[in-house]
Amino acid sequence: MNRRYRKTIIAGNWKMNKTASETKKFAEELKAVMPKAKWCEVVVCVPAVNIQTAIKAFKDMRVSVGAENLFYEKSGAYTGEVSGDMLKDLGVKYVIIGHSERRQYFGETDVTVNKKVHAALEAGLHPIICVGESLEQREMGITMELVALQVKAALSGVSAEKVRKCVIAYEPVWAIGTGKTATAEQAAEVCTLIRTTIRHLYGARIARSVTIQYGGSMKPANAAELLAQPDIDGGLIGGAALKSGEFVDIINAANQE
């Protein structure tokens, strides 16, 4: 991380876990162990139905609430979908876009990811844009080209002013929920490539201001080493973010002065 130029962000991605009552309980547990001063921003991205509960429960803890998805249209006949304005109106700050599970199970593509990035920015939300290669793609040796392409597609048509509001999360698909973490070197190599890609598109000043997270089995045991890499400015954390004790240990790893 490099706090001089950009924010460090530790974000939990709850996926389809926790009811509203469990959300309240988690907030109480976290409050009891949360460090007073924080050098990083803490975010919890929760299922859409838990957003209101989460906003209330985390309000006095300086924990921002994020959504896990949105639809790219502003309103209309899209049964079951949620718009950026609806999220913003509730007090949501961040929204995860293009998570590999959405690409894998819900047909999201680089094109829909780009539309959602525009919709989020238009609504005044900060998109957390997920990119990353599968195991097959890594073994084929195309990780760098693929991730650069995903970043370029996601940011297509996004202005320099708006790209500063975006967070990129590098999440190698083979490391998500598998217990297999990318080594700090593997993660750093791709996160540096992401910053280089942004530099080519928007210039050095903008590139150094963008927060780039690592995600994929980040846990207390490996967080400090990953966060010590200059181009890794935080984490997007699934499993370990569901337990207040583990989540706070990761926050503490990002909180070193």
Shortest Å distance, C-beta 161 to ligand PGA: 27
Number of amino acids touching ligand PGA (CB under 6 A) = 13
Scanning 31-39, 65-73, 140-148, 235-243 for contacts with ligand PGA by CB under 6 A, the matching segment is: 235-243
Residue 139 tokens, joined: 């073994």
Q: Which lies closer to ligand PGA via its Cβ, residue 46 or residue 237? A: 237
65 binds ligand PGA (CB under 6 A): no
Report the residue closest to ligand PGA, judged by CB. 238
Residue 85 tokens, joined: 């304005």
Residue 59 tokens, joined: 């309000």
Q: Which of 123, 176, 187, 248 binds ligand PGA (CB under 6 A)?
A: 176
Contacts with 191 (C-beta within 8 Å, 6 or more apart), sequence order: 170, 212, 214, 229, 231, 232
Scanning 76-84, 132-140, 152-160, 210-218 for contacts with ligand PGA by CB under 6 A, the matching segment is: 210-218
171 is catalytic: yes
CA distance linking residue 217 with residue 71, whole number of Å: 27
217 binds ligand PGA (CB under 6 A): yes
Contacts with 179 (C-beta within 8 Å, 6 or more apart), sequence order: 217
Q: Which of 236, 248, 253, 254 binds ligand PGA (CB under 6 A)?
A: 236
**Which phi and psi (to 5°) does residue 5 adopt?**
-105, -20
Q: Which amino acid is at 208?
A: R
H helices present in the chain, as ranges = 20-33, 51-58, 84-90, 100-105, 110-122, 135-140, 143-154, 160-163, 184-202, 204-207, 220-227, 244-254
Shortest Å distance, C-beta 160 to ligand PGA: 27
171 binds ligand PGA (CB under 6 A): yes
Q: Which of 42, 67, 168, 237 binds ligand PGA (CB under 6 A)?
A: 237
135 binds ligand PGA (CB under 6 A): no
Taking alpha carbons only, the member of 186, 252, 187 closest to residue 215 is 187
Look-up of token digits 């209101």: 52
238 binds ligand PGA (CB under 6 A): yes
143 binds ligand PGA (CB under 6 A): no
Catalytic site residue from 101, 133, 171, 246: 171
Q: Which amino acid is at 245?
A: G
73 is catalytic: no
Catalytic annotation, residues: 99, 171
Site residues (vs ligand PGA, CB under 6 A): 13, 171, 176-177, 215-218, 236-240
